[in-house]
Amino acid sequence: MSQAEISAASNFIRTLIKQQREAGQQQKVVTRFPPEPNGYLHVGHAKSICLNFGIAEEFGGDCHLRFDDTNPEKESQVFIDAIQEDIRWLGFEWAGDVRFASNYFDQLYDWALHLIKAGKAYVCELDAEQMREYRGTLTEPGKNSPYRERSVEENLAEFEKMRAGDYPNGAKVLRAKIDMAAPNINLRDPILYRIRHQHHHQTGDRWCIYPSYDFTHGQSDAIEGITHSLCTLEFEDHRPLYEWFLENLPVPCKPVQTEFARLNLNYTVTSKRKLKLLVDEGIVDGWDDPRMPTISGMRRRGFTPKSIRDFCDLVGVNRAGGVVDINMLYFALRNDLEHNARRGMVVLNPLKIVITNWEEGREEILTSPSHPARDDLGERQLPFTRELFIDRNDFMEEPPKKFFRLAPGKEVRLRNAWVIRCDEVIKDDQGEIIELRCSYDPDTLGKNPEGRKVKGVVHWVSADKGVPAEVRLYDNLFQVETPDADKDKDFLEHLNPDSLSRVDAICEPSLAQAGAEDHFQFERVGYFCADRHDHQPENGKLVFNRTVSLKDSWAKMQKKQG
């Protein structure tokens, strides 16, 4: 068996770069991933990371990590640290040191002066509300600010006062002088600098004016020698502005902005604002809650870096915004885990069975490969005793047709062990099944029984030797495909009440050796990951998170039959 190889398909950006290289342009490719440190990275960012780092890798270039830190009110060191950890975990390394747009504040300030001197920027004193009125609407042009025609000298003096801290927050702004009647609203004298008496995580209290995104991004790209500035579609309208700054400023080079569609996944939300709300409202247990589509949440859930990278390759890159089926994510996940996760047997919903023809006190140690197709992963020992647990779902007193599991009088294979037959069902006073009396066929270890076919296989754990574990069963956080699509319904109304349930499970003894973040396939059940924080085998506390269930054609068949 070999793992399905997934590689990135061709896309318009790769095609573009190849064409440029064939035409002899752009020999060196330099990209950048520019997160704002105001939240955790999510799958959507993974797409951008894979694209930017992937392009650089493919064409032998560099990819920079640059924090777009122009709004200190919302940013913090916590996010800066988390973002770096997530990128490294995903398997990427940026070229050179981590960069910050704030590294360029001095240069940006000089360039603002340059625009003022060229008569292309002015200090405006309209307040926020007036500014909105003057801006016009989508269909009506704006009108010029009364401050638009100030002299260069006055603008220089005013801007210097802004920088010196002579004015309170919001009192004045520096604006580019472009065209208040432009059909593209971004060109209606956009704001370059605003006053914010705010401590900055990188520059401390050195500045009380901060440049806007538009005035920062392209120039930062130019300073770093970025060749391809890849961003999402919503910045398309900003491209003329991006280019306007590069043309009107003495920048060292002119990067080109190219937009691609952001990733949307069904059954989840990928909006930083909404994810932050889930965290702040305590709906989930932090940014790395295993139900979160954040990189750190997915990591804790049990996704592997490769599965996320493969997923991004599977999805592709283009300009048509769509919604990707989360099954594609799960496919990439299972595809990786199937090949690389060790196997173990764990009973989530125990039902005791007694092997009546197995002597009291007798214990046999069976061995089984840790992976059916990977000898290099070694083997594990499975103690077999008179009393065992199987899953309640694997027994039915009155089984329907095609139920290949245990039922009164029926036989089933105990995975990695013998074939047993159910002889008797024991119930309590309430009629609840509490135990099954079975007998085993000693001639079926490692071979099929003679003269009959036993179709079903069931997993089990020794009642004496099994070890208890807390197992957290995770499911989609939302129960509808597009939780944020309704205009009149809050996305929180679509939360899946069963996104998390906990069960006390019994594991085969080998699982007591599991280290945090180890991945397993619990045979016949699903893929699980030892919790990064709460799994403490040294204290006898085992905690596993369900990453994703195995495909279940039996469940599908039952569902279809109603």
Instruction: Just list the catalytic residues.
Output: 36, 262, 272
Least CB distance from residue 541 to RNA, whole Å? 26
Q: Is 316 in the site for RNA (CB under 7 A)?
A: yes
Binding RNA (rule: CB under 7 A), the pick from 417, 438, 495, 543 is 417
Tell which residue, 318, 296, 323, has the closest CA to residue 308: 296
Which of residues 78 and 536 has its CB atom nearest to RNA in the complex? 78
Within 127-146, the residues that bind RNA by CB under 7 A are 127-128, 131-132, 135, 137-139
100 phi and psi angles, rounded to 5 deg: -135, 140
Which residues, 461 to 520, sit near RNA by CB under 7 A?
none
Q: In what order do the strands lie in the sheet with 467-474?
A: 342-344, 519-522, 526-530, 543-549, 467-474, 500-507, 346-347
Contact 104, 223 (CB under 8 A): yes
One residue of 119, 146, 165, 322 binding RNA per CB under 7 A = 322
Mention every residue, 6+ apart, whose C-beta is less than 8 A from residue 401: none
Sequence-distant (6+) residues with CB within 8 A of 348 are 391, 471, 473, 503, 505, 522, 525
Contact 436, 395 (CB under 8 A): yes
Integer-rounded Cα Rg, in Å, for the chain is 31
Show the site string, 541-560: x = touches RNA by CB under 7 A, - = not: ---------xxxxx-xx--x
Closest approach, Cβ 525 to RNA, in A, equals 7
Judged by CB under 7 A, the chain residues 444 through 463 that form the site for RNA are: 444-448, 456-457
Binding residues among 11-50 for RNA as defined by CB under 7 A = 11-12, 15, 34, 36
Residues 387-406 that bind RNA (CB under 7 A): 402-405
Q: Which two tokens stand for residue 202?
A: 């990188």
Sign of the Cα torsion 491, 493, 499, 502 reads positive
416 is a site residue for RNA (CB under 7 A) = yes
CA separation for the pair 151, 163 (Å, rounded): 18
Q: Which stretch binds RNA (CB under 7 A): 46-54, 177-185, 435-443, 500-508?
A: 177-185
Q: Which of residues 237 and 498 has its CB atom nearest to RNA in the complex?
A: 237
By the rule CB under 7 A, 165 interacts with RNA: no
Q: Among residue numbers 78 through 107, which ones bind RNA (CB under 7 A)? A: none
Counting contacts by CB under 7 A, is residue 411 touching RNA?
no
3-state secondary structure labels for all residues of 335-381:
HHHHHHCEEECEECCEEEEEECCCCCCCCEEEEEECCCCCHHHCEEE
Please say which residue, 105 or 330, places its beta carbon nearer to RNA: 330
What is the size of the binding site for RNA (CB under 7 A)? 94
Q: Closest CB to RNA among 32 and 524? A: 524
Q: Are strands 433-441 and 350-355 parallel, antiparallel or unpaired?
A: parallel
Quick one: which of 32, 45, 300, 343 contacts RNA (CB under 7 A)?
343
Query: Does residue 331 touch RNA according to CB under 7 A?
Result: yes
Question: Which residues in the 236-255 window bind RNA by CB under 7 A?
Answer: 236-238
* Cα-Cα-Cα-Cα dihedral sign, residues 478, 479, 480, 481: positive
Q: Is 206 in the site for RNA (CB under 7 A)?
A: no
Can you point out the beta strands (E) in 453-550? 457-458, 460-462, 467-474, 500-507, 519-522, 526-530, 543-549
Taking the complex as a whole, how short is the minimal distance between the CB of residue 77 and RNA, in angstroms?
Answer: 17
Instruction: Output the six-digit token pair for 413.
Output: 């294979």
Segment near RNA (CB under 7 A), from 10-18, 89-97, 105-113, 463-471? 10-18
Using the rule CB under 7 A, is 415 a contact of RNA?
Answer: yes
Strands 191-195 and 209-211: antiparallel
**Quick one: which of 4, 78, 253, 365 contacts RNA (CB under 7 A)?**
4
Beta carbon of residue 533, minimum distance to RNA (angstroms, whole number): 27
What is residue 280's three-state secondary structure?
Answer: helix
Minimum separation from the CB atom of position 373 to RNA (A)? 7
Based on CB atoms, which residue is closest to RNA, 64 or 217?
Answer: 217
Pick the stretch among 87-95, 422-430, 441-449, 493-501 that binds RNA (CB under 7 A): 441-449
Minimum distance from CB of 138 to RNA (Å)? Answer: 4
Does residue number 183 form part of the binding site for RNA (CB under 7 A)?
yes
Among the listed residues 95, 98, 156, 261, the single contact to RNA using CB under 7 A: 261
Is 319 a binder of RNA (CB under 7 A)? Answer: yes
- Among 146, 170, 378, 442, contact with RNA (rule: CB under 7 A): 170
For the four alpha carbons of 160, 163, 168 and 170, in that order, the dihedral sign comes to: positive
- Cβ nearer to RNA, comparing 328 with 516: 328
Binding window for RNA (CB under 7 A); candidates: 248-256, 290-298, 326-334, 354-362: 326-334
Q: How far is the CB of 345 from RNA (least distance, A)?
A: 9
Residue 108 is a binding residue for RNA (CB under 7 A): no
**DSSP secondary structure string, 147-207?**
TTT--HHHHHHHHHHHHHT-S-TTS-EEEE-S-TT-SSGGGSS-EEEEE----BTTTBTS-
Nearest of 129, 151, 65 to residue 101 by alpha carbon: 65
